[in-house]
Every structure is written in C-alpha cells, then in structure tokens.
Copies of this chain bind each other. A is one copy, B any other.
Amino acid sequence: MAGAAARVVQDQIQDNEIQSEHEDAFLFEANQKSSGRPRSEKSRSAILDSTNKMLLHMSVRDVSIEAVAKKAGVGKTTIYRWWPNKVALILDAISGPMGVLPAPALGSDAKDSLVKQLERFTRICRGRGGKILAEIYAEAQGNPELQALFFEKFMLQHEEILASIIDGGKKDGSFRSDLDTVFAVDMIYGAIFYHLMSSPEPLDQNFANVVMMESLRILK
C-alpha cells in the first residue's frame, strides 16, 4: 500500500511511544498487577460514551476534551492520563461502534469477497460514521504521529483485507494481473474519502453501489 509504505517507520515509533505509554481500550482488560488505586472502569466508559454521543451532534472539530470531561463528569487529567490527544481518544471511542462488523470470511471467490469487503466498509461509512472518519482523518493532518495513529488503528486492517483479496483474484484469474495492487487499494479507498470530504452530505447507498460496481470493473 503506497500510503502505508511511507508510514512504516512512523508506525514503529508509534508502537513504542503511544501504545506503551498509554494502555488503550484494547489493552485495558489485560492491565494487572499494579499497586495503588486501580483505574476506574466507570470513568473510562463514561469518557468513551460521552465522546461518542458528542460526535453524533457535532463535528470532530467542535468536540473538545474540556467538554467531554465535563459531560462525563470526569477530570481533564483523567483523559490526558490515558489518551495523549483528541484524535487518539476519538479513535478509541468510535472503534467500538465502528468495529462491530467483523471482517468477512475470505471465500474462494475474489469478486464476491471484494463486494463483501466494500459492502462492509461503505456500511461503516454510511451516515454520521463516514463524516466522523473523514473529520478525524482531517484532524490528523499536519501531525505525522496522528496520521500514523489513524492509519494503524483504522485503515490498516481494511487495506490489508482489500490487498489480499485483490492479490488472490489476480492469482486465480478473477482479476487482471497488470494492475498495481497497492495503487488499486489507494484508488478505491481514496475515492471514498475524496467523496466523503468533498461534500457535507453523508455517503449514500447509491454511491456505495457505484463504488462496488466500478471497482469490479477496473479490476476487470
């Protein structure tokens, strides 16, 4: 993946800095053996819930750490202790609602798998979800660490799935083999983000259909 390639170094730094400094939601359960007062699960989920609720009503821009803290009935310190910044917090917050759809089982039919994955991705992007994604993506601009965080936490899985589907299809003859897989992935997700970021309207079913149809077409 063209975008991913340039981020490899960044990612590793990220791994050692942010992930280990702050035990994020994913690692929360495994957190053990420390002395002192244990982390409050109540606060953690209040923070995440409040963040999600605010995202439904306002842009990522307008969600402030300050407001989240107040709404969650939590000290600002508690947020900063566990998340290094707003982007990280929001990524964690939406990873619940956004992650509900499991990755599709990759069947033997490449075309079918492609449609399933694009269906899954566009479903995530439908409604407020897609706007939030685009807004976080935007929020990360101008800050390499945040770019990497967004990619790693959200896009990495989708890029990997799509790439392996395309590669699979190329091998079994379902797809033309002269296309650059990495660029094809950039084109498909790129088209979706470009669309998302260019209009205030949410992504609709019609566009989702176009994405699937045309993606199949360019892959042959």
Residues of A near any B CB (own CB < 8 A)? 2-4, 6-7, 10, 59-62, 131, 134-135, 137-144, 147, 151, 155, 178-180, 183-184, 186-195, 197-201, 207, 210-211, 213-214, 217-218
- In the bound complex, what is the Cα–Cα distance between A35 and B4 (angstroms)? 47
Q: Are B61 and A217 in contact (CB under 8 A)?
A: no
Contact partner, A191, options B59, B61, B186, B210, Cβ 8 Å: B186
Given contacts A138-B138, A198-B3, A210 and B183 within 8 Å (CB-CB)? yes
Please classify the interface of chain A as helix (H, G, I), strand (E, B), loop, or mixed, using the class held by over half of its residues: helix
Given contacts A183-B191, A191-B187, A214-B180, A7 and B138 within 8 Å (CB-CB)? no
Contact partner, A59, options B134, B141, B180, B186, Cβ 8 Å: B141
Q: Are B135 and A7 in contact (CB under 8 A)?
A: no
Known pairs A2-B191, A187-B214; list 19 more (Cβ under 8 Å): A3-B195, A3-B198, A6-B195, A6-B199, A6-B201, A10-B199, A61-B142, A131-B142, A137-B138, A138-B140, A138-B141, A144-B200, A147-B197, A179-B218, A186-B195, A187-B191, A187-B218, A190-B190, A193-B193
Question: What residues of chain B lie closer than 8 Å to A142, measured between beta carbons?
Answer: 59-62, 131, 135, 138
Q: Give the Cβ gap from A179 to chain B, nearest Cβ, in Å.
A: 6
Question: What residues of chain B lie closer than 8 Å to A6, measured between beta carbons?
Answer: 195, 198-201
Contact partner, A192, options B179, B190, B192, Cβ 8 Å: B190
- In the bound complex, what is the Cα–Cα distance between A38 and B60 (angstroms)? 33
